[in-house]
Homo-oligomer: A and B are copies of this chain.
Amino acid sequence: MRFYHTMVRVSDLDQSLDFYCNALGLEETRRFERPEGRYTLVFLAASETPDAEIELTYNWDPEEYTGGRNFGHLAFHVENINDTCQKLMDHGITINRPPRDGRMAFVKSPDGISIELLQHGDALEPAEPWISMENTGNW
């Protein structure tokens, strides 16, 4: 038995790819357009775990995506959590839980999917601007 993917729905594919790929750093691996079903599937993966995919489902007909508490988050290990959060902030992403401890941060996708980022290996030396940054909202 093998883990294959976690699927999340997205309401705006361009905005979501800007978040998941350009800001967060995942890579698009495959894409399927299904005009007959009016949806598009885009598979993403982190570079070092190509087999553990995130499937974005974009339904062409709009529906509202409200978060449910039963789904918690997607988590990724990153090489340098300070750099990752800086890149996200440069993309205009709110760092809901800044990595004040050099170890853990949370952000949210454009559709409110909570994303946990964890420093790979030992925690980094805590650094600004994160040390002084308060939490924002929930995650």
Contact = CB atoms under 8 A, between A and B. Distances in A.
Contacts of A94: none
B52 A49 contact: yes
Contact of A1 (B2, B9, B64, B79): B79
Copy number in this complex? 2
Contacts of A25: 1
Chain A, interface size category, equals 35 or more
* Central interface residue in A46, A52, A70, A74, by most chain B CB within 10 Å: A70
Interface stretch (A95-103, A113-121, A124-132): A113-121
A51 B46 CA distance: 13
B67 A7 contact: no
A111 B7 contact: no
Contacts of A48: 1-2
